[in-house]
Chains A and B, each alone.
Chain A
Amino acid sequence: MRPYELSLADAAKAVRERRLSPVELVDSVLERLEEVEPRLGAYASVDAESARAGARRAEREAAAGRFRPLLGVPVGLKDLIDVAGRPTGAGSRVREGHRARSDAEVTGRLLAAGAVPIGKTRTHEFAYGLITPQTRNAWDRGRIAGGSSGGSAVAVAAGSATFALGTDTGGSIRVPSALNGAVGLKPTYGLVSRHGVTPLSWSLDHVGPITRTARDAALALSVLAGHDSRDPASVPAPAADLLPGPDPDLTGLRVGVPRNHYFDRVDPEVEAAVRRAVARLEELGARTVEVEIPLARYAQAVLHGLVAPEAAAYHEPTLRTAPELYGEDVRLLLEAGARLSAGDHLRAQRARTLMRREWARLLEGVDAIAAPATPVTAVRTGEEGLTWPDGSVESVSDAYVRLSAPANVTGVPALSVPVGRDGAGMPIGMQLLGRPFAEAVLLRIGHAYELAEPGPGIAPVR
């Protein structure tokens, strides 16, 4: 196995045990990046020189016997996350000439843990879309990467990053992770600081890891989570041991299987794969319970009622002075969002209060909920709409947001794990949702599942 193929946990362990030098690890990932990047376009910028310098520093530390949890591990950062002295391009011409003055809180936490940033991964412009058109799917270059954290998910799936960070406002971590066979974790709202991360919607934005295993997500989250008073949503969460044990036991765990919403208008292959995965969880000891998702039909309305005016407010100055710098799709969304009334925005906030209350009640009865992460696998590039057997037509973006929205609106943690591939070879994701701050439960389930049914591994990238 070549170093770029190692999971985060295995790479960090190999460095700690002095079986692998950080220089070898970073060089291997950079070589893989050079090989696949021309075909994928996962990175907005790569800083190989600084990554190699970081690897050499990590090597000196390792030689001196000083170890940090992510020492020498290469990470890709979504191009919305500030790194001091570097541009945060946000996938937009609006940001030409930008230079971040300081590190985002999450960047600082990764550096303090010894991780080595190797570049900025591509995002749908300002994270306002589910496609990431600049990037191609790691498993089929004729299909979309998904978004908005498309670059991060593709880099992780292709082996051009050992792990990466993304952001999730309406599915932007889970959707590209599912579409590329990666693991994506949207943590509980407020668990990971957004300070230094370009906002899309203050009330819905989350930062989280994209990895190749649930165990890796646990390791990354242990480093990322923590209170930061510079993010008004940040909460001092109770310290939790996130790392799943070596032989996770699901005995007695109650897993809710939705009877509404999450399996409605879902591709039959996706549904079959997720139901098979749920059956696997039962074999591993979990007890499944059928659950009714409350207020499901309002989730997307709440999401749009919050995102549209908040995004429009953030972009208002540049939208006034330089609207031509935005891509047409994002400009239209922003200009339309500016026309939504304050009453609509407040109604969405009040409906959100109701949803939180009802979901808290739902989650009293189960430890987690298992559902598809997306209704369909990655669509072909340029495909804009889906027609369902009931005759309804849905835009591709709406379809991808539909199953993601509830976790953004309620703020509950949601983990997407790969559960096989469809007939065309495209990865399928299962979403595990849990109580606020119960990431450890989701990660334990994800890890138990991946021990029984390992993920797809590195995409061959042909």
Chain B
Amino acid sequence: MPDAPDGPVPPEADRDARVAAAAEHLRSVVALLRELDLADTPPTAAYRAEEARTDAAL
């Protein structure tokens, strides 16, 4: 995971800059995936129209 050192909470303006930098780092890590040709590949998120029954016998 991207690191951030522990320590006292910095003042707000500094915080905003740190969050922006961390977000930019994260975006740059994830941007690697733009190299992939995903074509028609669907996402993995699963959805079923029927909610699973809690009494299902399995």
Contact = CB atoms under 8 A, between A and B. Distances in A.
B29 A324 contact: no
Interface residues of B, number: 36
B9 A298 contact: no
A301 B32 contact: yes
Interface string B33-47: 111101001111110
A335 B19 contact: yes
A289 interface: no
Interface stretch (A83-91, A276-284, A396-404, A445-453): A396-404
Given A328-B6, A328-B9, A396-B3, A300 B43 contact: no
A203 B45 contact: yes
B1 A347 contact: no
A364 interface: no
Given A130-B1, A227-B58, A332-B4, A340 B33 contact: no
A351 B3 contact: no
A336 B25 contact: yes
Contacts of B52: 229, 232
Contact of B30 (A170, A236, A304): A304
B42 A353 contact: yes
Query: Looking at B34, B54, B58, which has the most chain A CB atoms within 10 Å of its CB?
Result: B58
B5 A348 contact: no
A328 B4 contact: yes
Contact of A354 (B2, B5, B41): B41
Given A336-B22, A336-B25, A351-B33, A329 B5 contact: yes
A50 B1 CA distance: 37
B9 A305 contact: no
A327 interface: yes
A229 B9 contact: no
Interface string A335-356: 1110110001011111111101
A380 to B, nearest CB: 15
Interface string B4-25: 1111110000000011001101
B49 interface: no
B15 to A, nearest CB: 8
Contacts of B25: 336
Contacts of A304: 1-2, 26, 29-30
A405 to B, nearest CB: 10
Nearest to A351: B33
Interface in A306-363: 307-308, 324, 327-329, 332-333, 335-337, 339-340, 344, 346-354, 356
A337 B23 CA distance: 7
B1 A401 contact: yes
Interface of B: 1-9, 18-19, 22-23, 25-27, 29-36, 38, 41-46, 52-54, 56, 58
